[in-house]
């Protein structure tokens, strides 16, 4: 892809990034940081590409190390964020109405 | 083998990028946050599957093995970690992500002659290494492996400047020559810069640094997207870089601090009235039974939880105390300062873990006007966030930080370990006011005693 297209994509992504977190309450700062942390674990895609093109054993070893680290970032990040958010389900929240989709999901979870 | 053509690859990556945007959007609201996180995970899975079917890959068994190792280590740790230790785990995950980006960039160096691509490689190497080493130091500070006080020494700014200068020199040299040896030197300089960057940051500011390093890793990943010509990495990294920057500023604003002020000499040389000396002035200290009477015959109690509660893991006892008081017909709320605990929002997570209903957790802006109607403000292990010096003493290091107005309550009860000042190292005049009562001891022990005394009323 040519430079100008990449620049366009980057600038638009910057604005989207600014926009999506502009009004978040401080309650969710920690989960949001953790969720964003998980997303940059997508460097795993880059690590896999590099490992898949490695011929030299040393290059492969370093690339595989990158794969391990990136996977830890990605998987661990999403799991720990989910655990934080799981705890926001207060037990005194009014139960969802039976018969609705949300109710069915609630039922399923129990 | 490649099962799909470049057009389909691009479409699938686009879908993954959309998932990430929806994930961040979902994390803005408590109701959609969990689903948002799930959407993000689905996007990541989609992207990883896409790379396997769209690029001709060798060593696939090795790669799958490495993925299994990474996931096999991280998932159980993330599932089992104590909630109070969660900030350092986030720091650790952030660090390894930055490290992975740096390694990817290092390996790509031999594949290119293009100066622009080499520039992106240099950026990824440096920023990834800073993030890796910085997160490591942050982890050590939060885990208690080293002191949480700022570590400074004469010449630190000079050393930092020299390291950065050397890094710029090495970076230019890498762009010109493409030398792998120089790239490794750059990597080491980046690691050194990361350590030097975080060492002088005090314990209270560490959360902001985690957020900043998170944004750094995002930028490193974005640059690695340029290196590999991968649009998904570019978009996802840029999203995290941008949102992380906003988040960092929001956190710093909640503490009345500037990010630059934190990174370059936090609390250094500020006028600190009685910074380390413990004052000899008299305070009114009291027994758990007296505190129980104060609480038990009040009509409205506002609990202000702080760092001390998180460290003592007293959140469950605090929740039980709130329940016990409510069963006596007392209205109980929790007032949450934006930076209570170890990270902004951390206290909400801890209290939610202890099954405190979401509606009882009140944010500062919402609760500050309500202290006037409260009979007792119970401050558990918090100090700086209720220190009136933030409003009255213009020379104070925390001047300008918004505080919880506990002084408006009819009675103020502090559960404190000792008279030692908080992170900011300044005295709290509120402790000497006539309406203030102190109960000394570990937050959890004190809460347990008070809870027992309330039940016995």
Q: What is the pLDDT of residue B225?
A: 95
**B384 tagged catalytic:** yes
**Separation in Å, CA of B100 to nearest CA in chain A:** 4
Are the CB atoms for B277 and B261 separated by under 8 Å? no
Cβ separation A93–B358 shorter than 8 A = yes
Domain ranges, ordered by start, for chain A: 29-89
| Number of H-type helices and E-type strands within chain A | 5, 0
State residue A98's pLDDT score. 41
CA angle B55, B60, B66 (to 5 degrees): 115
Q: How far is A109 from chain B (nearest CA, A)?
A: 13
Helices in B81-114 by DSSP H: which ranges?
86-108
H or E element in which residue B439 lies = strand B436-440
ipTM: 0.82
Taking contacts as CB-CB distances below 8 angstroms, the residues of chain B near A31 are: 27, 33, 37, 345, 349
The beta-carbon neighbor of B355 closest among A9, A31, A91 is A91
- Is the CB of A53 less than 8 angstroms away from the CB of B58? yes
> In CATH terms, is domain B288-456 a member of 3.40.50.1220?
yes
The CA distances from residue B187 to A47, B105, B128, B184, in Å, are 17, 10, 9, 5
Give me the residues of chain A with pLDDT under 50, please. Answer: 90-110
- Angle (CA) B146 B150 B153, round 5°: 100
Asked if residue A46 lies in contact with residue B224, where contact means CB atoms within 8 angstroms, the answer is yes
Measured distance CA(A32)–CA(B348) in Å, rounded: 13
Domain positions in chain B:
1-68, 83-268, 288-456
Q: What's the pLDDT score for residue B360?
A: 86
Report the half-sphere exposure of B295 (CA within 13 A, side-chain side): 36
Chain A residues close to B211, C-beta within 8 Å: 33
Kindly list the residues from chain A whose CB atom is less than 8 angstroms away from the CB atom of residue B231: 1, 6, 9
Contact A62 B28 (CB under 8 A): no
Per-residue pLDDT tens digits of chain B, which is 457 residues long:
577 888 999 999 999 999 999 999 999 888 889 999 999 999 999 999 999 999 999 999 999 999 999 999 999 999 998 877 888 899 999 999 999 999 999 999 999 889 999 999 999 999 999 999 999 999 998 888 887 777 888 888 899 999 999 999 999 999 999 999 999 999 999 999 999 999 888 766 788 899 999 999 999 999 999 999 999 999 999 999 999 999 888 877 776 667 777 776 544 433 333 344 455 677 888 889 999 999 999 999 999 998 788 877 888 999 999 999 999 999 999 998 877 776 667 788 888 878 888 788 888 888 899 999 999 999 998 888 888 888 887 777 677 778 899 989 999 999 988 777 666 667 788 888 888 999 988 888 999 999 999 998 8
Q: Mind telling me how many Å the CA of A49 is from chain B's nearest CA? A: 7
Question: Rounded to whole angstroms, how far apart are CA atoms B315 and B305?
Answer: 8
Q: A24 and chain B: CB distance < 8 Å anywhere?
A: yes
The pLDDT assigned to B255 comes to: 66
> How many degrees, rounded to 5, is the angle at CA B113 between CA B109 and CA B118?
50
Candidates B384, B408, B442, B445; catalytic one: B384
- Cα–Cα distance for residue pair B111/A34, rounded to 1 Å: 33
Tell me which residue of B71, B21, B83, B46 sits closest to A31, measured CA to CA: B83
CA distance B446 to B264: 38
The interface residues of chain A toward chain B in range 36-75, judged by CB-CB distance below 8 A, are 36-55, 59-60, 62-75
| B371 touches B365 (CB < 8 A) | no
């Amino acid at each position: 892809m040519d430079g100008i297209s990449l620049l366009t994509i980057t600038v638009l992504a910057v604005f989207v990034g600014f926009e999506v977190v502009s009004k978040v309450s401080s309650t969710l700062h920690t989960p949001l940081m953790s969720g964003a942390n998980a997303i940059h674990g997508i460097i795993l895609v880059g690590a896999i590409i590099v490992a898949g093109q490695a011929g030299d054993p040393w290059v492969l070893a370093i690339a595989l190390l990158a794969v391990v680290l990136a996977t830890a970032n990605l998987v661990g990040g999403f799991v720990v964020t989910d655990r934080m958010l799981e705890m926001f389900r207060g037990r005194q929240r009014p139960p969802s109405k039976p018969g609705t989709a949300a109710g069915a999901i609630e039922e399923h979870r129990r | 083998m490649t099962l799909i053509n470049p057009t389909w690859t691009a479409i699938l990556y686009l879908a993954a990028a959309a998932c990430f945007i929806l994930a961040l959007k979902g994390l803005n609201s408590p109701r959609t946050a969990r689903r948002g996180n799930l959407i993000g995970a689905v996007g990541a899975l989609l992207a990883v599957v896409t790379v396997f079917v769209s690029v001709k890959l060798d060593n696939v068994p090795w790669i799958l093995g490495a993925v299994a190792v990474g996931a096999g280590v991280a998932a159980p740790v993330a599932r089992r970690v104590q909630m109070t230790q969660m900030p350092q785990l986030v720091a650790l995950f952030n660090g390894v992500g930055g490290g992975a980006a740096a390694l990817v960039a290092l390996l790509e160096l031999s594949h290119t002659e293009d100066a622009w691509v080499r520039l992106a490689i240099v950026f990824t190497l440096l920023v990834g290494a800073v993030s890796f080493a910085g997160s490591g130091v942050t982890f050590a500070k939060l885990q208690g492996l080293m002191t949480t006080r700022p570590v400074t020494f004469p010449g630190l700014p000079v050393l930092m400047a020299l390291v950065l200068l050397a890094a710029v020199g090495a970076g230019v040299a890498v762009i010109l020559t493409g030398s792998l040896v120089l790239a490794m030197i750059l990597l080491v300089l980046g690691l050194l810069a990361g350590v030097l960057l975080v060492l002088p940051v005090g314990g209270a500011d560490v959360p902001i640094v985690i957020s900043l390093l998170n944004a750094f890793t995002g930028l490193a990943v974005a640059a690695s997207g340029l290196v590999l010509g991968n649009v998904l990495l570019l978009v996802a990294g840029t999203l995290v870089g941008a949102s992380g920057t906003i988040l960092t500023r929001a956190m710093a604003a909640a503490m009345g601090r500037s990010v630059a002020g934190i990174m370059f000499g936090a609390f250094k040389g500020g006028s600190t009235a009685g910074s380390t000396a413990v004052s000899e002035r008299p305070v009114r200290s009291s027994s758990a039974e007296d505190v129980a009477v104060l609480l038990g015959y009040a009509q409205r109690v506002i609990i202000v939880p702080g760092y001390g509660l998180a460290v003592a893991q007293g959140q469950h006892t605090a929740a039980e105390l709130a329940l016990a008081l409510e069963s006596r017909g007392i209205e109980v709320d929790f007032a949450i300062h934006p930076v209570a605990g170890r990270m902004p929002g951390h206290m909400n997570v801890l209290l939610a873990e202890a099954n405190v209903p979401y509606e009882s957790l009140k944010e500062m802006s919402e609760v500050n006007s309500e202290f006037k109607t409260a009979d007792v403000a119970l401050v558990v292990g918090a100090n700086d966030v209720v220190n009136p010096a933030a409003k009255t003493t213009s020379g104070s290091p925390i001047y300008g930080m918004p505080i919880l107005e506990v002084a408006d309550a009819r009675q103020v009860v502090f559960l404190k370990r000792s008279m030692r000042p908080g992170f900011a190292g300044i005295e709290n005049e509120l402790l000497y006011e006539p309406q203030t009562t102190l109960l000394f001891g570990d937050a959890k022990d004190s809460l347990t005693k008070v809870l027992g005394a309330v039940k016995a009323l």
